[in-house]
Structure 1
Amino acid sequence: MQNLKTLLCSAFGLTANRSYRVLKETRGSPDCDMCCCLFIQTLIHLLKGNIGTGLLGLPLAVKNAGLVLGPVSLLCMGIVAIHCMRLLVKCSNRLSERVNRPFLSYGEAVFTGMENVSWLRRLAPWGRWMVNLFLIITQLGFCCVYFVFLSDNIKQVVEAANATTWDCQVDHANQTALAGTSFDSRIYMLFFLPAFILLVFTPNLKYMAPLSLLANLVMCCSLVLIYYYSLTNIELPINLPLVGKAKDYPLFFGMAIFAFEGIGVVLPLENKMQKPEGFGRVLYTGMGVVTFLYISLGTVGYLCFGDTIAGSITLNLPNCWMYQIVKLLYSFGIFITFALQFYVPAEILIPPVVDRVSGHRRRIAVGLLMRALLVIFTCCLAVLIPELDLVISLVGSVSSSFLALIFPPLLEMLTFHTDGLSPLVITKNVIISGVGLIGFATGTYSAIMELIIRNNPPHSHNLSPSYMLQ
């Protein structure tokens, strides 16, 4: 099995330079222009690793929490998420020094941290296994979200094509009016399945680099247009609840932590820096931008569409060609990004199976078969849970809460327990991990219960707008 850091570096277009920290003392001071270039490159990769479909679901998350409580909660969650990312980097650096290694992945850091405590040493392999398990769940969960996102958005574009015009007048009652025969969104998922399978057959992600760059550009353009429409179509006066219902707040937590779960790319990015000690500046700058985007789009999206907001704000855009093209462009970006999200779990799960097969051709065939089966598995999960907001909330609650909130504070206590942590630091870590556990339990329960309610036929007339738009 390849090192997780190498996989993540490849997935995000990074170079796996394991020996840099060993060699940096002999290479001399890097040129300032090179430092600036690497700073910008690392910053872009950090933004790329945190901005995706989760951003588009935040207006609905703000609705679940309330117009005031939602943005305030996003700000608090952003601060805590950044703090946990910084904790992970600090712990990895300290542990790598202890074991005399240039780099430790997330799982290796947890493994080494548990070995650092005598009574946990025997359980250390389980710690690494748990981190990799939640990483796989998270990445495959992203893939499920992409299936649902593409099916919902392409369904709207295709089925409203005959009624689509260049007139972008606002109709808050029904932003995209479907015309003609309407097919279930699951049909569209099955339609995309062969395309996704062929996409993940790409032998090396370097061949995806041009398409990945194009995908990033079109997604940025789409976001600009979404911001423009939302800001210019806010209706006054605003009569939206400042605080949402208590029963909906766990759904907010799941969607928000799903959006903030970019902690898996932090260690590979930090190791790529020519001056790793300067990664804090990249982290605070990048995550500051991310937090601003999350709060601003979540707030203006909810202000614009109110109670009709869907699981993705793109589903609320008007039935005109300019914004239908926005859906197509963002869908293209998400389609290409699928290969990047799929890469990590595939390279963790497939090699152990391929190694059991003899013969070059058989190994290739088994590898392709396993990739196809993994894509089919994610498609089946998406078919079972076709509600975009619930998929996001469920994935966020189940796995992202562990990776982003629960593990990093615990790892700090394992790493520095011999240094005499202050009671304040211990209390802080226990509170953060406790909040993560509560969010995991309540968010998972609420998402599952809401899924049961929405799929209960006697109550089908009470379905929420985010479901009806699918």
Structure 2
Amino acid sequence: MMASSDVDGRTEGSLFSDQNPSETDSLCPSPGPSRPQRNYERIGGRTGTSFCQTLIHLLKGNIGTGLLGLPLAVKNAGLVLGPVSLLVMGIIAVHCMKLLVKCSHHLSAKMNQPSMTYGEVMQYGMENVSWLRSRSRWGSRTVNLFLIITQIGFCCVYFVFLSDNIKQVVEAANATTSSCQVNHTNQTDVLVPSFDSRIYMLFFLPFFIVLVFTPNLKFLAPLSLLANLVMTLSLILIYVYSFMNITFPIDLPKVGRAKDYPLFFGTAIFAFEGIGVVLPLENKMQQPQKFTQVLYVGMGIVTFLYISLGTIGYMCFGEHIGGSITLNLPNCWTYQAVKLLYCFGIFITFALQFYVPAEILIPQVLTHVSERWVKPVDLLLRTFLVIITFFIL
């Protein structure tokens, strides 16, 4: 975090005054503190999220589909090298997140703004370097473009994950039993063909649209809490099954093949998908000076889950581990319920990942719309972005 004097100035000075500056002020780059305010969404103050709400969102933003693929990632790296590499990546990720927030705080105080987005941090940071000053706007646009591509990509993966898993549950329903025996490959032998995956995606489309109509993170907190609870339950069931079916002695390679290590790195990078929501979460806190504590607690839990599930899942299924550990679970109703519970959690995570591109794009358009049409245009743009995400697939 920043120095205590900067923090005090941020919480007690004009940056968080009773005027409650709007979100558009922080999202759209401005030449100085005299930018007119717009009522897109308030930041901080009494309308902001609490410590616990922010922690819930941070966990929800990092625990997604990538977690289920980490046992395969550990297989590609090795039983020892994989967990060690995940720990190193977790430390680097937390350090970069903290550095990002610290830079945001420093530049917010310097520019007399309530908060900053990723693009603004890049822009105003480049303006401090003489030979980069003239290119600062391009720096902001480049960062925003990469963020939009990354987060829309995550949302596309969620569409695929939900449709594929629901399709598996439906097609295997007739063969699903109440007996959960040891399984190392996939016990779903009898499938009843159903609709194409794209039909399932089309079914989820209106639900995603309704979900993203809630632009305020404070209102999403109860849903995030519920999603965290059901995903916790599903992860507990996965942990229990994996623990109970580890075969001793464990004869697995401690270090994987060098040509497979890039595959580990790609899967692990995808798992650390929450960095795109760090600044939006910090911007909405009632007490942003406490975000570092949220970061340490939340990412500590996330890194522990990544390392433990990746290691235990690989120890249980060994060379038979699938792209998602759910593919190795028995075809019984208990573990079909695990898939359904995790699908619900991923459904809620969509709103958090979608929040980032929406936060970048929508306020830019709303600055050119009369006050009368702000809300209809806002909802229309959200609908359009979700439909674009659907058609990319």
Do residues 2 (structure 1) and 24 (structure 2) align?
A: yes
What residue identity is the alignment partner of 1:103? S
Give the structure 2 partner of residue 254 of structure 1: 266
Q: Unpaired segments of 5 or more residues in structure 1?
A: 7-13, 21-36, 384-470
Do residues 145 (structure 1) and 172 (structure 2) align?
A: no
Do residues 348 (structure 1) and 365 (structure 2) align?
A: no
Do residues 274 (structure 1) and 287 (structure 2) align?
A: yes
Q: Is the 8 A contact 2:26 2:114 kept in 1?
A: no
What residue identity is the alignment partner of 1:225? L
Q: Is the 8 A contact 2:55 2:294 kept in 1?
A: yes
Pairs within 5 Å for 1:242-321: 242-270=254-282, 272=285, 274=287, 276=289, 278-321=290-333
Q: Is the 8 A contact 2:180 2:332 kept in 1?
A: yes
Do residues 51 (structure 1) and 66 (structure 2) align?
A: no
Q: Is the 8 A contact 1:64 1:248 kept in 2?
A: yes
Give the structure 2 partner of residue 325 of structure 1: 337
Deviates more, 1:81-90 or 1:294-303: 81-90
Q: For the residues of structure 2 that align with 1:285 and 1:195, how far apart are their CA atoms?
A: 32
Q: Is the 8 A contact 1:2 1:348 kept in 2?
A: no
Give the structure 2 partner of residue 65 of structure 1: 77
Q: For the residues of structure 2 that align with 1:282 and 1:299, how far apart are their CA atoms?
A: 26
Q: For the residues of structure 2 that align with 1:300 and 1:353, how far apart are their CA atoms?
A: 47
Deviates more, 1:215-224 or 1:195-204: 195-204
Deviates more, 1:145-154 or 1:230-239: 230-239
User: Cα gap change, 1:373/1:311 in structure 2, threshold over 3 Å: closer, same or farther?
Assistant: farther
Deviations 1:367-421 (A, max 9, x none): 555433322332233x3xxxxxxxxxxxxxxxxxxxxxxxxxxxxxxxxxxxxxx
What residue identity is the alignment partner of 2:358? A
Q: For the residues of structure 1 that align with 2:87 and 2:215, how far apart are their CA atoms?
A: 40
Deviates more, 1:303-312 or 1:193-202: 193-202
Displacement after TM superposition at 1:143 (Å)? 0.7
1:16 to 43, 56, 72: 43
Q: For the residues of structure 1 that align with 2:174 and 2:295, how far apart are their CA atoms?
A: 46
Deviates more, 1:261-270 or 1:223-232: 261-270
Q: For the residues of structure 2 that align with 1:19 and 1:161, how far apart are their CA atoms?
A: 48
1:220 to 225, 232, 236: 232
Q: Is the 8 A contact 1:177 1:319 kept in 2?
A: no
Displacement after TM superposition at 1:287 (Å)? 1.7
Deviations 1:43-91 (A, max 9, x none): 3333233222221221122122222221111111111111111221222
Give the structure 2 partner of residue 380 of structure 1: 391
Q: For the residues of structure 1 that align with 2:42 and 2:69, how far apart are their CA atoms?
A: 32
2:102 to 90, 99, 109: 90
Q: Is the 8 A contact 1:169 1:318 kept in 2?
A: yes
Which SS does the other structure have where 2:43 is aligned?
A: coil
What residue identity is the alignment partner of 1:17? G
What residue identity is the alignment partner of 1:46? L
Give the structure 2 partner of residue 455 of structure 1: none
| Equivalences, count | 357
Q: Is the 8 A contact 2:176 2:332 kept in 1?
A: yes
- With the length of structure 1 as denominator, give the TM-score of the two structures: 0.68
Give the structure 1 partner of residue 93 of structure 2: 81
What residue identity is the alignment partner of 2:160? V
Q: For the residues of structure 1 that align with 2:188 and 2:223, how far apart are their CA atoms?
A: 29
Give the structure 2 partner of residue 165 of structure 1: 177
Pairs within 5 Å for 1:188-227: 188-202=200-214, 208-227=220-239
What residue identity is the alignment partner of 2:287? Q
RMSD: 3.1
What residue identity is the alignment partner of 2:387? I
Q: Is the 8 A contact 1:354 1:367 kept in 2?
A: yes
Q: For the residues of structure 1 that align with 2:371 and 2:108, how far apart are their CA atoms?
A: 38
Q: For the residues of structure 1 that align with 2:42 and 2:310, how far apart are their CA atoms?
A: 34
Q: For the residues of structure 2 that align with 1:203 and 1:82, how far apart are their CA atoms?
A: 26
User: Cα gap change, 1:379/1:248 in structure 2, threshold over 3 Å: closer, same or farther?
Assistant: farther
Q: For the residues of structure 1 that align with 2:199 and 2:94, how far apart are their CA atoms?
A: 39
Q: For the residues of structure 1 that align with 2:92 and 2:67, how far apart are their CA atoms?
A: 18
User: Cα gap change, 1:114/1:335 in structure 2, threshold over 3 Å: closer, same or farther?
Assistant: same
Q: For the residues of structure 2 that align with 1:298 and 1:15, how far apart are their CA atoms?
A: 40
User: Cα gap change, 1:249/1:2 in structure 2, threshold over 3 Å: closer, same or farther?
Assistant: farther
Give the structure 2 partner of residue 411 of structure 1: none
Q: Is the 8 A contact 2:151 2:276 kept in 1?
A: no
- With the length of structure 2 as denominator, give the TM-score of the two structures: 0.80
Q: Is the 8 A contact 1:156 1:178 kept in 2?
A: no
Give the structure 1 partner of residue 382 of structure 2: 371
Q: Is the 8 A contact 2:97 2:278 kept in 1?
A: yes
Displacement after TM superposition at 1:301 (Å)? 1.2
What residue identity is the alignment partner of 1:261? E
User: Cα gap change, 1:178/1:241 in structure 2, threshold over 3 Å: closer, same or farther?
Assistant: farther
Q: For the residues of structure 2 that align with 1:315 and 1:340, how far apart are their CA atoms?
A: 26
Give the structure 2 partner of residue 238 of structure 1: 250
Q: For the residues of structure 2 that align with 1:298 and 1:121, how far apart are their CA atoms?
A: 44
